[in-house]
Amino acid sequence: MAKIFDIEAVFTSIPSLLKFLPVSLEITFISMVAGLLMGLIFAVIRIKKVPVLSQIVTVFISFIRGTPMIVQLYLTYNGIPLLLKFINEQYGTSYNINALPAMLFVLVTFAFNEAAYNSETIRAALQSVNKGQIEAAESLGMTYFQVLRRVILPEALVVATPPLGNALIGLLKGTSLAFVAGVIEMTAQGKIISGSNFRFFEVYLALAIIYWALTIIIEQVLRYLEKRFSIPEPGQRNTIGGRWFSFGRREI
């Protein structure tokens, strides 16, 4: 009689699942970096109220935040080939639609999804910076981008680190949806393994343990960063972004 629960199946599944960990991490970190860069651009556009672009970004963010990730994956998976087909017909090009890698659809979807959510976090962090410091930097003749790099971003980093860290954890767990576009990552591999040995509970338990362990590691890194970027008590000094700050007198 077969065992109801086989603990050995849990531990024997872990090595097979870990073989696809690099795929999950690749999706996570590429999407996060791209999402942070686009999110910063979107945030600046909305803060500066750039005509036309600000309205477009607002609608885009609203759409992304108002639709499920899996729907966005389906839209990307079906939309990019349609776009290339349209370009081929209109401009006489010969892009090979069938040659598009499945990873492309996943990275595009996750990057834009992160950009939408991160832009709101970054916008709030940028607007939390003391206006007096910004005006003082501008009075010294700095351009907006110099002020952004030297004053705003270092201090906004303190505010943005915790929520962006949570977004990173959510993104890591969200990579389990990549199988929708045909990318084999840890969750998809778990489906394959459980389909062959019929130990569904054991395999998914092993998968849960791996995700849990990864989340704990990320949380520890985030705690270190929060301490590294924390604002000291008045009169103490701290370095953020390689610069000295005295928060007691708000020196830069």
Distance CA 67, CA 76 (A): 13
At how many degrees (to 10) do helices 69-91 and 102-127 cross? 110
The residue whose two tokens read 């370095």 is: 239
The answer to whether residues 61 and 116 touch, using CB atoms and an 8 Å cutoff, is yes
pLDDT digits (tens, 9 = 90+) for 143-188: 878 888 888 888 888 888 889 999 999 999 999 999 888 899 999 9
Q: Helix, strand or coil for residue 199?
A: coil
Ranges of beta strands (E only) in the chain are: 237-240, 243-246
pTM of the model: 0.82
Residue-wise pLDDT for 92-129, tens only, equals 888 888 888 989 999 999 999 999 999 999 999 988 88
Average pLDDT taken over every residue of the chain: 86
Cα(144)–Cα(134) distance, integer angstroms: 9
Domains of the chain from N-terminus onward: 7-246 (1.10.3720.10)
Find all residues with CB under 8 Å of 16, minimum gap 6, and list them.
189, 193
pLDDT in tens, 122-153: 999 988 888 888 888 888 888 878 888 888 88
